[in-house]
Amino acid sequence: MSHSNLYLTAFSTIVIKEIDRFTRIWLQTIIPPAISMALYFLIFGNLIGTRIGQMQGFTYVQFIAPGLIMMSIINNSYANVVSSFFGAKFQRHIEEMLVAPIPNIIILAGYIVGGIARGLLVGIVVTIVALFFTKLDIHSFAITIGVVVLSCILFSLGGFINAVFARKFDDISIIPTFILTPLIYLGGVFYSIDLLPDFWQNASKLNPILYIVNAFRYGIIGISDINIVSAFLIIILFIIILFSVCLYLLNTGKGIRS
């Protein structure tokens, strides 16, 4: 058997296993974000949003919809990889892959595609939920799909790094709780940074999630606080950095080989 055939089969096995894992527990993985989104739209969109009025020419619910969808995508792609890889480490069945003739990059790619799959599926589900509350015309399909896929990759890589360093289950919730959630909430999901004083506008630009949310918002409703090209470049830069870190950790066996 050629190496490429072996790698392809191994890669597809990891991807299928990952998709099977999160679809088997759909009550924990797919339904909660849909319910959360429905509540966000109901409370912030319909109840409070009607009092806020227009935001950059759109209703408030239209303005926050891309950010809320992206929030679900980010959280779920991250959660998929961190929980799956840490679970495999904890139960030691990661050894099934480590003893097999699979290069580390294939293992990493398999987990990332698993994270992309869950991010996309949850993104589709919450978009359907959003359509019950507001009308969304896609401004640019290419930008929308591009930013979704890149965001899934980025946060899958983040989840992977978290899982490598995690030693107990508490450790896989520390980053999402204390870093990811604040960055998402302060990343322009609910407001335009134009509303902030200059200092906080500049401070916000240090938050990578601001670029993701704005790029996605541009793809859907055509408005952004950030230059789109800059946004894509920053996302890609972060992907390259995190991908290199992940590969380094796998190659040195951090947390998985003695």
What distance in Å separates the CA atoms of residue 116 and residue 78, rounded to the nearest whole number? 9
Q: Pick one of 39, 95, 177, 194: the residue that binds another protein (CB under 8 A).
A: 95
Closest by CA position to 107, among listed 120, 123, 90, 88? 88
42: alpha, beta or left? (left if phi > 0; alpha if psi -120 to 50): alpha
Dihedral pair phi/psi, residue 188, rounded to 5°: 80, 20
Q: How many residues bind another protein (CB under 8 A)?
A: 30
Residue 174, CA distances (Å) to 28, 89, 236 in order: 19, 18, 25
Per-residue contact string for residues 212-241; x = within reach of another protein by CB under 8 A: ------------------------------
Per-residue contact string for residues 37-76; x = within reach of another protein by CB under 8 A: ----------------------------------------
Residue 161, CA distances (Å) to 78, 86, 181, 254 in order: 10, 10, 17, 10
Helix (H, G, I), strand (E, B) or coil at 110: helix
For residue 28, give both structure tokens.
């924990």
Q: Minimum Å distance from CB 231 to another protein?
A: 37
C-beta closer to another protein: residue 88 or 148: 88
Q: Please tell me whether residue 163 binds another protein under the rule CB under 8 A.
A: no
Q: Minimum Å distance from CB 113 to another protein?
A: 14
- 153 contacts 92 by C-beta, under 8 angstroms: no
| C-alpha triplet 43, 206, 38: angle, nearest 5° | 15
Q: Please tell me whether residue 168 binds another protein under the rule CB under 8 A.
A: no
Q: Minimum Å distance from CB 15 to another protein?
A: 10
Per-residue contact string for residues 8-37; x = within reach of another protein by CB under 8 A: -xx-xxx-xx--x---x-------------
Q: Please tell me whether residue 257 binds another protein under the rule CB under 8 A.
A: yes
Q: Please tell me whether residue 175 binds another protein under the rule CB under 8 A.
A: no
What distance in Å separates the CA atoms of residue 245 and residue 75, rounded to the nearest whole number? 20
C-beta closer to another protein: residue 58 or 165: 165
Q: Which stretches of the chain bind another protein, using CB under 8 A?
A: 1, 3, 5-7, 9-10, 12-14, 16-17, 20, 24, 87-88, 91-93, 95-102, 253, 257-258
